[in-house]
Structure 1
Amino acid sequence: MSHSTIVNSGIELDARGISIDGSPRVVLCASLFYFRLPREQWRARLEQVRASGYTCVDVYLPWNFHETAPGRWSFEGRRDVAAFLDLAQETGLYVIARPGPYICSEWDGGALPAWLGLDPGLRVRQHEPRFLAQVAAWFDQVLPILADRQYQVGGPVIMVQLENELDFFDCEDRTGYLTALRDQAIHHGVTVPLIACAGQGDLAGATGDVPGVVPACNFYPDDDSPHIEAEVRRYAELLADRGLPLMITETNRRHRTLRRLLASGASLIAPYLQSSGWNFGYTPSSGNWGKPGNFMSHGYDFGGYVSSTGAERPEYTQAQVLARVIDALGSRLALATSTVPRVEVTADFPTSSSPSALDLSEGGQLIAVPNLGTAPGRAVVNGVPVAVAPDSCPLMLVDVPLRSWDFDASDATLTLASADLVAATDGALAFSSDVPVTVVLGGTQVEIPAPTAGAPERTVVEGLTLVVLAPSDAGRLRSLGRDGTVRLADAPRRQGTTPPTAVRSVRRRSFAAPEKPAGTHELPPTLESLGAYRGRGTYRTTADLTGVDELLLVGAADIVDLSIAGRVCPTIAGFGAAQRIDVHEVTGSVAIEALVEIWGHANFDDARLPALRLGALRGLGTLWRVRDVRDLSALWTVHGQWAGVPAPTRELGGWSSTRVGIPLTYTRDVQSKTVSALHLRGVVEPVRVTVDDGEPSTVHAEDPWVLLPAGTHQVSITMPHHPSGGGLRAELLSLEPVTGWSCGAQDDDLLTGFAAGVGPTEGIRLPLALKPGEEAWLDVDLPPSDDGFLVRLDGSGIRVTGWAAGECLGRIWVGDRPAFSGGDSDVLWVPAGWTGLTLLIRGIEGQGAPELRTLRLESPNG
């Protein structure tokens, strides 16, 4: 399929690249998310991106950030996305808007509202009427905001992305689903290009091959891989065959890698999260990231060029230099085509296995020569030795005519330049390098020494002044005179830092937060069914545990603090995996209480744990008394791999065969008078379990359990054959539910309202010791500050939630805890101007007695 996209929007996409109002562009784009920043900082962060040389920001719009409860919409304050887009326009930035409906982004539920899971007939991210009706309500709210701010009507929006990496998800009807989203966008007047990104290279899987939906690519390679170029060029060719440019809507942040993508044919390069932020409140996700079960931290930072608090990192200068290369080459680069070098390139350092080059539109090539090592080296380009710095990727120019810069000798050719060209006039060329630069101009070869910051090197060759700037100077380059004079912007002032301040005096509130009564229930309901889409809830009952040695908790998520007969259990954070709980020392009628907190709904669809399925609900799950345990490892019949009739009877996994790895099925009848749980101990690789004539399910090592209704069932287990049996054992637990639960809910609004309130307090000095399960609400007086604070807690065995200025800052888990991902998981950020600090401290059972020893206030600029 070949097509170009021109929809009277001023934006044209074709095989040669991106044109805006007829002007070809290479677009550098940084992720910048309004919902992860204080509104007061929006303008400064946008201006910071623009000063980096990037010309565009990509912006997710999270559905569940704006629909806070079913039918309750908010677009005010920090949710005023229209104001953010207007600020982007004022700052001179384009915008790629990404309204989902699913965004991933390590955000609570991937932005899908939690209550969608309450409708058993609704299937998220499918061409299904119930889901599409909910999406229509969201699009009715958000798409008019985008349509009113499209480029052709004077706004910043140049593209709108539908969905996000759909090729990762098992969507049954991709064409129907994307067609429905496309039609809604068109209905609301969106005429800029509609794009859909492929997360793992499946262009059809991401777009459904729907006409009018342009495929884009997300690449997250190993930065040190020598094979990046070959993969990226393949996608550039595939898209060129469709009459489209290669647009990389997400990728790594390192500019050495971004240069390799540019040389491989990318017209849009959008490294993900160059400008970092924060997951305020209860908005982080729980996810997989390869290892199932972790929590996304409050800090949302993966090492981009701007930190979560707005500090510029060394990569920021690299951004400015690359942007100046793109500006200096202009349409030559924007209309270039990807290929391989026409001249021989060798190197004495680790480099690309297949270097990329761009045929520039007015002649000559740009060749990327990455040094993937940590030591300086030398490359030989068309027989000329040149220096290459470690961990760099100079964009070398070969055989480039100088006529388009109005150089007096119109037939002059830049035969070779071993460094980045960052500016050009009719009398001078400026390069950026921190190693010596080799230039061949016509028949003259010169080597220019490496410059130092503030001291450019200059030489004149055949009437042309050559200037070499240190990268720090090139990043601040404002103009280049025809005589080689340079004007630099003022160096940025370094913000001062203040030493950490220890806080030991706090005020403890006399009362705890109330909870909303949520009725009595036979079995524990989900928190979402109680109206708590973010926040936490309590479950209480009394149960007779006479003769019961253990309980089985099934489906608990996310964070469960369980107390039985006054004994607090270690915190459970198993994402729905079945948990055995020893109660052999408890007997009679005892109180059972659970506090269940939602960390965040899954942002990715991971089948290995129940709570990591996209759309999965939160809550206590079901608590069962275990009445009996039987070993079922024997008396399985074998089917397949030359097993005859009648089927042989073996232990589970006990068949012997030379067909290693070929699936083999074991079957037996399983009988229980009650609901039961089949436990497959020793599962390593996933196995398929079929009950009676039902659909097979996959059982993983992370949750090797299958619930069975009362009665007799034929159970079949299919697994790859292992000659030694693999050590798999089976046992059957006969279950009886614990019933009669009374519930209460504390959603995020209730907790935030309580934190913002006032009441009687008592001044105390830290350290504060707590019992497991005990909570304390603390008010902390903050000293004046123009920069805000990072709050770091020293203690053990506590979970902490913080609030300031009427906003939940986030949560910290101090001591023994599950895995975390993202930025610094041990700090809360109080932005400048956000007054007051309230902390909810909860003691948890585990390693170390619960204690808050001290608070440290740190400078965010440190």
Structure 2
Amino acid sequence: MTTTTLDHHVRLTDGHLLVDGRPRVLLCASLFYFRLPRSQWRARLEQVRASGYTSVDVYLPWNFHETEPGTWDFTGERDVAAFLDLAAEVGLLVVARPGPYICSEWDGGALPAWLTLTDGLRVRQHEPRFLEQVRRWFDQVGPLLAARQLGDPLGTGAGGTVALVQVENELDFFDCEDRTAYVGALRDMLVAHGISVPVVACSGQGDLQGATGDVDGVVPACNFYPDDSSPAVESEVLRYTRELASRGLPLLVTETNRRHVTLRRLLVSGARLLAPYLQASGYNFGATPSVGNWGDPGSLMAHDYDFAGYVSPEGTERPEFLEAQLLARVVETLGPRLAAATPADGPATEVEHTGFTTADHLAALDLDGGGRLLGLPNLSGAAGTAVLRAPDGPVDVEVGADRCALVLVDLPLAAWGRRATLALATADLVDVRETVGGLLLELVSDTPTTVVLTGCGEGAAVDGRPTGDLVRLHLGPDAPSAVVTTADGRVVVSVVPVSEATRHSAAVDTRAQATETGTGDGADASTLDVRTVRSTTAHLWAGAPVTTHDDGAPPLEALGVYRGRGRFRTTVDAETAQALLLVGASDIVDLRLDGTPLPTVARFGAAHLVDLAHLSGTVDLTADVEIWGHSNFDDSRLPALRLGSLRGVGEVFAVTAADDVTAGWVVTDGDRARATGEGAGEISAPHGPTWPGHGPGPLRTLGGWSSTRLGAPVTYTRSVVQAAGARTALRLDGMVRPVEVSVDGHPHTLVHPADPWLVLPTATDAGDAPAPRTLSLTWPHDPDAGGLRAQVLTLSPLTCWDARPLPERQLDAQSVQHRDGDTVDLPVDLTAGEDLWLDVDVPASPTGRRIRLSGRQVRATAWLDGRSLGRVWLGDDARPVVTGGDPEALWTPETATDGVLTLLVHGTAGGPPPRLDGVALSAP
């Protein structure tokens, strides 16, 4: 493959990334306009440029721009064209990522929530209904991107800096049935709109074909998220560098970790695009975070979207910002020599010994024109010394803990007008230029540095002292520079400390460094504690329209609620029902029985049992459901983690009977049962040895079979009776691994320990008589796992519901309504189930403010002058894991005038009395 595009401004050819004909290594930071106030776009872009990075990657979320079916918005903070134009003004190239699916811990992965209301529509498939919806999106965004491609290939007279366009996102994680047709259709849509820069598709777990379908004209890229301390990073990355080089392509790393110790390792392993994900952080305003599988297994994504990148969500800078500048200067100094380099074959022979834990393969690049760049990572927690070979003997190289030295070997200086060779430099080479005093070689290091020059000429001298043809320099704080007089001119070698070679461009983050899991101590300086608030009882549902449904509670999306809330009401006869079973309820469900609040249900759609034994007569059931977000990833372990899953109260059943069916299961060989469909009854002897033996199958309790055949599949089968006109559910307690459940010989359903329930399909031929159902359960034999306890529950579906929708836009409108609240002191006590509006006057702030609430058994949504900031959930055992950033922090953008911070606070049941203890505002 010699080229991947008709566009001459960006070419991927012969293993190189060429921009305007010049080989480039691009350092690229994620910067997401939809997570930042528009007023800060330019400053954040300039900040990235000040870090030395030369490009940004930008997702374009479909559902951020199509807010309702057919309603498009590209204005204000949704004006992505303006953002791209600013990137061009600042001088940053752009990797544009329009999806249609983006992941990004964003609501639904950017797929609109209403898509799967269409019968037969299957997201991320080569399926006509889905592709037609995607076409509408690409019709909006395709021309916008095409007009802003680098070099103005459309001849519009405008152009921009879009250098690459990514379709889809980590498709190799997803069960796409026809990857080639699907990715090909996306490519064709983009090309039809004039996209001529390279189109790429990134793999999430290294399956290049799975990500691209091997579609011609779609370049495979790689997302790498290794453990930063793994010794295998170089070995893994080099495999992909060489595979792509065999296709004539460069390694484009479209996502990876943010720490520059790892980025250096990727660089010497051959990456031409280095794009650490979320290097510049942001906020998920409104109801835009997703739910995901970073918990147990489900999680709520935080509004504070922060993976410890070099810029915090508020725009303050962290130590990695300075590390970025160092790496960027190395990349710029070596320029095309580095960008056209090839991975060295074999082990790094320059290294004699390392006195610290390092990579299992020390990667090096053979630079174009001669020389080598060696990566020397110290993966231990303490500084250590490596011994390198030099022409005049061994050299000790000190490498700091958790650092990666970039060592230059045998770099000819001919390109800079000197016949000498930089035989060894143990510090970062950040500048080479001719000065009045000679050719300056500027290096950066906080540790002692050794530089060896050869070919200096027999009359060479250092600071006037003769040395001969080979010069060895030992530089450090006491001797930071030396002047080498060579046969063809002076060479000035200077080492400066990191503090002199780098500088911050904005305020420094003084809070505890965020972690990869998004936890922090929240200790902000200059905190303003709010003392009083204006309190008003909230009547959220007073104006919401009521619709009646006789075939079950509809999903919120069917009511036009794509972000927001809904209230569902019905009744249940507690004389005949001993419990309620909720199946598929999500995201946040607050139940009331006859007005009494119950603990919040937030189980990502897992079946949930509600006891009714203490009630009698007709009971009013109310379910208030809030959408936290739609899943950004497809995970089959829980219903609400499926991509495209809908939100609401789900299916609700009255449980009228529960029978223990732990005993009486017939045991058969699991492989045989799968192959033959055999279950209960007489079992004929198959060919060869049998397990268990042939004849009448042994009866055991569920999981009670004993054998030495560890890991062999065992099938347990028995019959149960389904009551006439009823539904049936199987409940399994004690699960530690997934179990295959087959009903009446049909293909199995996999039941996971996170949701150990299965509602059996309706019997098709039972009529008015009780229906026998045959259950077969199969899992690998493991005596340590213990047995299972099984129940069969008889169910009666609750079908008649009243529903009240409350979309996010209506909540936003309520937040700015005039309220004559009572002024009260904090803390504020609530009763379980109570909703209060709390208003706080806040002064103008040029930098915005970080908001931190404290309390127990409360959920709160915040607005600033009607702009939804996000939600926090405090001190409640029912709250799932919240990840992706600080779970209890929100942020107000800068305001030129005084404003009103509005909190909608809800008291939750199930713990101590709800209370909001405090509201703290602090500068970033």
Over residues 586-636 of structure 1, what are the superposed CA-to-partner deviations in whole Å (9 max), with x where a residue is unaligned? Answer: 111122111100000011111010111110000011222211111112222
Provide the residue aligned with 1:434 in structure 2: 446
| 8 Å Cα contact 1:424/1:430 also seen in 2 | yes
CA distance in 2, matches of 1:71, 1:807: 23
Distance 1:599 1:14, change over 3 A: same
220, 228, 234: which is aligned to 1:223? 228
Query: Is 1:819 the counterpart of 2:881 in the alignment?
Result: yes
| 8 Å Cα contact 1:9/1:191 also seen in 2 | no
372, 380, 398: which is aligned to 1:387? 398
Residue 499 of structure 1: CA displacement? 1.8
Distance 1:725 1:600, change over 3 A: closer
Q: Any idea what SS the aligned residue of 1:846 has?
A: coil
Provide the residue aligned with 2:679 in structure 1: none
561, 571, 584: which is aligned to 2:590? 561
Distance 1:142 1:518, change over 3 A: farther
Residue 181 of structure 1: CA displacement? 0.5
| 8 Å Cα contact 1:790/1:828 also seen in 2 | yes
Distance 1:158 1:590, change over 3 A: same
CA distance in 2, matches of 1:733, 1:825: 38
Query: Is 1:731 the counterpart of 2:791 in the alignment?
Result: yes
804, 810, 825: which is aligned to 2:870? 810
Distance 1:199 1:373, change over 3 A: same
Q: Any idea what SS the aligned residue of 2:115 has?
A: helix
Residue 530 of structure 1: CA displacement? 0.7
Residue 650 of structure 1: CA displacement? 2.7
Query: Is 1:302 the counterpart of 2:307 in the alignment?
Result: yes
Written as runs of structure 1 = structure 2, the 5 A alignment for 1:762-773 is 762-773=822-833
Residue 792 of structure 1: CA displacement? 1.1
Residue 120 of structure 1: CA displacement? 3.1
Provide the residue aligned with 1:642 in structure 2: 691
Distance 1:104 1:495, change over 3 A: closer
CA distance in 1, matches of 2:407, 2:718: 69
| 8 Å Cα contact 1:655/1:725 also seen in 2 | no
Over residues 150-184 of structure 1, what are the superposed CA-to-partner deviations in whole Å (9 max), with x where a residue is unaligned? Answer: 11213110010000000000111001100110111
Q: CA RMSD in A?
A: 1.7
- The sequence identity of aligned pairs, in percent, is 54
| 8 Å Cα contact 2:317/2:509 also seen in 1 | no
Provide the residue aligned with 2:247 in structure 1: 242
Provide the residue aligned with 1:474 in structure 2: 501
Provide the residue aligned with 1:856 in structure 2: 920
453, 458, 480: which is aligned to 1:457? 480
Query: Is 1:789 the counterpart of 2:812 in the alignment?
Result: no
Distance 1:220 1:491, change over 3 A: closer
Written as runs of structure 1 = structure 2, the 5 A alignment for 1:137-148 is 137-148=136-147
Provide the residue aligned with 1:780 in structure 2: 840
Written as runs of structure 1 = structure 2, the 5 A alignment for 1:400-549 is 400-407=411-418, 410=419, 412-426=420-434, 427-442=439-454, 443-450=470-477, 457-462=480-485, 463-476=490-503, 499-509=526-536, 512-513=539-540, 514-522=542-550, 523-549=552-578
CA distance in 1, matches of 2:886, 2:785: 44
TM-score by length of 2: 0.89
Provide the residue aligned with 1:341 in structure 2: 348
TM-score by length of 1: 0.95
Residue 647 of structure 1: CA displacement? 3.2
Q: Any idea what SS the aligned residue of 1:229 has?
A: helix
Residue 495 of structure 1: CA displacement? 9.4
Over residues 783-824 of structure 1, what are the superposed CA-to-partner deviations in whole Å (9 max), with x where a residue is unaligned? Answer: 232222111112111000011143210000011222110111
| 8 Å Cα contact 1:377/1:390 also seen in 2 | yes
Provide the residue aligned with 2:890 in structure 1: 828
| 8 Å Cα contact 2:812/2:868 also seen in 1 | yes
Q: Any idea what SS the aligned residue of 2:403 has?
A: coil
| 8 Å Cα contact 1:809/1:829 also seen in 2 | yes
Q: Any idea what SS the aligned residue of 1:99 has?
A: strand
Provide the residue aligned with 2:652 in structure 1: 623
| 8 Å Cα contact 1:752/1:808 also seen in 2 | yes
| 8 Å Cα contact 2:50/2:505 also seen in 1 | no
| 8 Å Cα contact 2:430/2:442 also seen in 1 | yes
Q: Any idea what SS the aligned residue of 1:472 has?
A: helix
CA distance in 2, matches of 1:218, 1:183: 24
Alignment: residue pair count? 839
Distance 1:492 1:146, change over 3 A: closer
| 8 Å Cα contact 2:742/2:749 also seen in 1 | yes
Higher mean Cα deviation, 586-595 or 845-854?
A: 845-854
CA distance in 2, matches of 1:520, 1:377: 72
Over residues 195-251 of structure 1, what are the superposed CA-to-partner deviations in whole Å (9 max), with x where a residue is unaligned? Answer: 000000000000000000000000000000111001100100000011100010000
Written as runs of structure 1 = structure 2, the 5 A alignment for 1:632-711 is 632-640=661-669, 642-643=691-692, 644-673=694-723, 674-708=726-760, 709=762, 711=771
Q: Any idea what SS the aligned residue of 1:143 has?
A: helix
Distance 1:794 1:725, change over 3 A: closer
Q: Which amino acid aligns with 1:842?
A: H
Q: Any idea what SS the aligned residue of 2:139 has?
A: helix
Q: Which amino acid aligns with 2:544?
A: K
Structure 2: gaps spanning 5 or more residues:
153-158, 455-469, 511-523, 670-689, 764-770
Provide the residue aligned with 1:362 in structure 2: 369
CA distance in 1, matches of 2:96, 2:352: 40
Q: Which amino acid aligns with 1:459?
A: A
Provide the residue aligned with 1:485 in structure 2: none
CA distance in 1, matches of 2:351, 2:915: 65
Higher mean Cα deviation, 73-82 or 757-766?
A: 757-766
CA distance in 2, matches of 1:802, 1:594: 23
Provide the residue aligned with 1:68 in structure 2: 67
| 8 Å Cα contact 1:277/1:307 also seen in 2 | yes
Residue 747 of structure 1: CA displacement? 0.7
Over residues 554-604 of structure 1, what are the superposed CA-to-partner deviations in whole Å (9 max), with x where a residue is unaligned? Answer: 111000010112221111000111111122111111221111000000111
Q: Which amino acid aligns with 1:146?
A: L
Residue 391 of structure 1: CA displacement? 1.9
Residue 40 of structure 1: CA displacement? 0.5
CA distance in 1, matches of 2:865, 2:73: 18
Residue 547 of structure 1: CA displacement? 4.3
Over residues 255-302 of structure 1, what are the superposed CA-to-partner deviations in whole Å (9 max), with x where a residue is unaligned? Answer: 000000000000000000000000111110101026311100010000
| 8 Å Cα contact 1:517/1:745 also seen in 2 | yes
CA distance in 2, matches of 1:305, 1:515: 46
Q: Any idea what SS the aligned residue of 1:516 has?
A: coil
Query: Is 1:180 the counterpart of 2:185 in the alignment?
Result: yes
Provide the residue aligned with 2:326 in structure 1: 321
| 8 Å Cα contact 2:844/2:895 also seen in 1 | no
Residue 768 of structure 1: CA displacement? 1.3
Higher mean Cα deviation, 494-503 or 560-569?
A: 494-503
CA distance in 2, matches of 1:242, 1:361: 20
Q: Which amino acid aligns with 1:276?
A: S
Over residues 334-365 of structure 1, what are the superposed CA-to-partner deviations in whole Å (9 max), with x where a residue is unaligned? Answer: 00001242423421111111100000001110
Written as runs of structure 1 = structure 2, the 5 A alignment for 1:80-229 is 80-153=79-152, 154-229=159-234
| 8 Å Cα contact 1:195/1:216 also seen in 2 | yes
CA distance in 2, matches of 1:83, 1:162: 21
Provide the residue aligned with 2:642 in structure 1: 613
Q: Which amino acid aligns with 2:735?
A: V
CA distance in 1, matches of 2:505, 2:122: 54
Higher mean Cα deviation, 599-608 or 284-293?
A: 284-293
| 8 Å Cα contact 1:441/1:461 also seen in 2 | no
| 8 Å Cα contact 1:300/1:822 also seen in 2 | yes
Q: Which amino acid aligns with 2:791?
A: E
